[in-house]
Amino acid sequence: MASTRAEDVAEVLWELKRAQKVATYSTIARRAGFSAGTNGRAMQTCLRTIRRDWPHLQWWRAVKDDGRLARGSEQEAKFREAGFDLQEDDKDDDAIVVNALDEHLMDWENNEAKEADPSES
């Protein structure tokens, strides 16, 4: 049985999927009403539950707060499949980063304003 936190994170992931955006662990957790935990551990637990219980959700749209993806990971493959431009991480040989990550991060404040007033689009 899924936790309430996982259900709330699943809702946020659905929003990200519809908007074709990504978000950091802390941003997602805050939107779902809790803290991501030390090194994102609470979010990682939620994402494991989501992958198990709701495999259709795009769990990979949740990125660590530093924006790094593990090189050779399933998450890297999912980002590439979705057409994201990835680049080498200058600071970590075992990681890669999403090029221009800020452009891909969900901005709920502006997104909700557009939904409320479609003429602003």
Count the neighbouring beta carbons within 10 Å of the beta carbon of residue 8.
17
**Band of the pLDDT at 1, cuts 50, 70, 90?**
very low
Q: Where do the structural domains in the chain lie, given as residue ranges?
A: 1-65, 66-102
Query: Could you give phi then psi for residue 86, rounded to 5 degrees?
Result: -110, 150
Q: For position 41, what pLDDT does the model report?
A: 95
Report the phi/psi class of residue 100: left, alpha or beta, with left for phi > 0 and alpha for psi in -120 to 50: left
Q: What is the pTM of this model?
A: 0.86
| Per-residue pLDDT tens over the stretch 49-77 | 999 999 999 999 999 999 999 999 999 99
Amino acid 115: pLDDT: 56
- What are the tens digits of pLDDT across the range 24-33? 999 999 999 9
